[in-house]
């Protein structure tokens, strides 16, 4: 508890500086995107309007449900309508209806365009005096110890993984992180922890398989796949690796067979039952029993104490574990499995922030920490400080905590936030 308190107290000054310094936005690119998105939106509204009658509101889930399953006669793919008598019209459900009606892709695209337009609006909140965007970092804003960011939230800027120059919308989406730029003559130095939550799991579980994989710097997901499927490392297919990856990340949240089955269906393109998913999960825990034990001990601990605890002793009460409703207790168990992992990752990056800030001060550098995004730190530095900063950031992040496995950071330098990812 004291360690957490001391850390948070030192961090206050670092956070204050981040908020005060702010970050440059490329207004020209932002405005360009906005114009293009607005015309896209209007085209889509036009196309959608050919299917509607009367005063239809596309943003109303009630109106949309009525249009799709009433006027247009689409058959819902699920049995039950929700409490308000409407069928769900979220992306997952709409995707299942694309075969049934030509309007579906228009709606999905319209939603995407609207979401991106909201980001444009958020990025217009630059301060007229500094000409920079100043977010608020809520230092103790979450139950796990992570930061949250608001007004505007800079922790949920689009970050598309795939690229396709022919897909205009995907291209625009990729331009949002290009809008974040260093000041004239400076550079961004961006560092993110590689698989920090899985490394923390390796540390807590002391699972020999995980420890060895990280010690030898191996491809963990591929290695996991070779274990689950009982095949040689070199014979693992991309699909098997993707499934293993899905389990590796899912285990941190207490994922169940019912959650894994849709993942399997998505990855393979064939339908998979939860029984199949359960077999894969069983195979996983059979090969990594220490992970299973670790997750169970997280639950037992939280059950006995009434709270979960992180590396630094940060506590989170979990009253759900005492509920007399099974579903709430199950939810409590998942929280108890996840909190020590997610919360420890938060402890570590917070320690790294203080260390980096101290080191910059000590070396008399001009570089500034601008953003913190869960497992990533973004700095702005004069070109002359590039090499020293790259070394300083890596050193201080990788040595922020001493775990049984090495912490590893991926680091890039560049001229906008997209470039350093």
Partner DNA sequence: CTTCTCACG
Partner DNA sequence: ACGTACGTGAGAAGG
Nearer to DNA, 68 or 356 (CB): 68
The DSSP symbol for 289 reads H
From the list 59, 230, 270, 304, which residue makes contact with DNA (rule: CB under 7 A)?
59
Is residue 56 involved in binding DNA (CB under 7 A)?
no
Q: What sign for the dihedral angle of Cα 202, 207, 212, 218?
A: negative
At its nearest, how many Å lie between DNA and the CB of residue 3? 21
Is residue 194 involved in binding DNA (CB under 7 A)?
no
d(CA 396, CA 410): 13
From the list 14, 179, 228, 335, which residue makes contact with DNA (rule: CB under 7 A)?
335
Site for DNA in 62-81 (CB under 7 A): 62-63
Is residue 57 involved in binding DNA (CB under 7 A)?
yes
Is residue 45 involved in binding DNA (CB under 7 A)?
no
d(CA 64, CA 66): 5
From the list 112, 222, 241, 368, which residue makes contact with DNA (rule: CB under 7 A)?
112
Secondary structure of 68-116 in HEC code, one letter for each residue: HHHHCCCCCCCCCCCCCCCCCCCHHHHHCCCCCCCHHHHHHHHHHHHHH
Q: What sign for the dihedral angle of Cα 382, 123, 421, 197?
A: positive
Helices 289-305 and 326-363 cross at an angle (nearest 10°) of 100
At its nearest, how many Å lie between DNA and the CB of residue 134? 12
Nearer to DNA, 95 or 231 (CB): 95
Instruction: Let me know: does 202 contact 407? Beta carbons within 8 Å.
Output: no
Number of residues this chain uses to bind DNA (CB under 7 A):
65
- Choices 114-122, 226-234, 383-391, 395-403 (CB under 7 A): range interacting with DNA: 114-122
What x-and-dash track marks residues 261-280 binding DNA by CB under 7 A?
Answer: --x-----------------
Instruction: Let me know: does 147 contact 5? Beta carbons within 8 Å.
Output: no
Is residue 124 involved in binding DNA (CB under 7 A)?
no
* Burial (CB count within 10 angstroms: exposed 0-12, middle 13-18, buried 19+), residue 149: buried
d(CA 399, CA 397): 5
Is residue 390 involved in binding DNA (CB under 7 A)?
no
- C-beta atoms surrounding 291 within 10 Å: 22
Kindly list the residues in this chain that would bind DNA in the complex (CB under 7 A): 57, 59-63, 82-84, 88-91, 108, 111-112, 115-116, 118, 121-122, 138, 141-144, 146, 148-153, 155-160, 192, 246, 249-250, 252-256, 258-260, 263, 326-327, 330-331, 334-335, 338-339, 342, 373-376
């Amino acid at each position: 508890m004291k360690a957490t308190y001391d850390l948070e107290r030192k961090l206050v000054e670092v956070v204050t500086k981040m908020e005060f310094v702010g970050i440059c936005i490329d207004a020209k690119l932002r405005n360009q995107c906005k114009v293009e998105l607005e015309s896209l939106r209007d085209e889509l509204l036009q196309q959608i309007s050919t299917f509607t009658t009367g005063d239809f509101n596309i943003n109303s889930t009630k109106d949309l449900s009525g249009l799709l399953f009433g006027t247009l006669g689409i058959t819902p793919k699920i049995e039950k309508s929700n409490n308000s008598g409407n069928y769900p019209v979220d992306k997952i459900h709409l995707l299942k209806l694309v075969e049934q009606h030509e309007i579906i892709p228009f709606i999905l695209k319209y939603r995407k365009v609207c979401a991106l337009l909201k980001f444009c609006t958020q990025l217009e909140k630059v301060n007229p005096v500094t000409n920079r965007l100043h977010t608020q970092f809520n230092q103790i804003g979450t139950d796990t110890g992570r930061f949250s960011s608001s007004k505007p939230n800079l922790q949920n800027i689009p970050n598309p993984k795939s690229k396709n120059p022919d897909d205009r919308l995907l291209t625009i989406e990729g331009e949002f992180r290009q809008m974040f730029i260093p000041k004239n003559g400076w550079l961004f130095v961006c560092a993110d922890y590689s698989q920090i939550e899985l490394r923390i799991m390796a540390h807590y579980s002391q699972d020999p398989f995980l420890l060895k994989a990280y010690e030898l710097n191996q491809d963990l997901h591929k290695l996991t796949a070779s274990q689950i499927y009982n095949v040689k490392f070199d014979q693992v297919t991309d699909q098997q690796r993707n499934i293993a990856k899905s389990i590796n990340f899912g285990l941190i949240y207490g994922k169940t067979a019912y959650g894994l089955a849709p993942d399997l269906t998505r990855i393979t393109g064939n339908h998979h039952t939860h029984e199949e998913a359960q077999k894969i999960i069983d195979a996983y825990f059979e090969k990594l029993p220490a992970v299973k034990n670790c997750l169970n001990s997280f639950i037992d601990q939280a059950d006995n104490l009434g709270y979960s605890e992180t590396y630094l002793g940060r506590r989170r009460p979990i009253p759900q574990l005492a509920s007399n409703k099974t579903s709430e207790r199950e939810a409590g168990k998942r929280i108890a499995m996840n909190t020590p992992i997610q919360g420890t990752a938060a402890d570590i990056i917070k320690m790294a922030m203080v260390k980096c800030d101290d080191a910059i001060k000590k070396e008399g550098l001009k570089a500034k920490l601008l953003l913190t995004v869960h497992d990533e730190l973004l700095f702005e530095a004069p070109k002359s400080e590039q090499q020293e900063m790259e070394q300083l950031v890596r050193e201080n992040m990788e040595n922020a905590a001493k775990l049984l496995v090495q912490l590893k950071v991926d680091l890039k330098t560049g001229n906008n936030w997209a470039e350093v990812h």
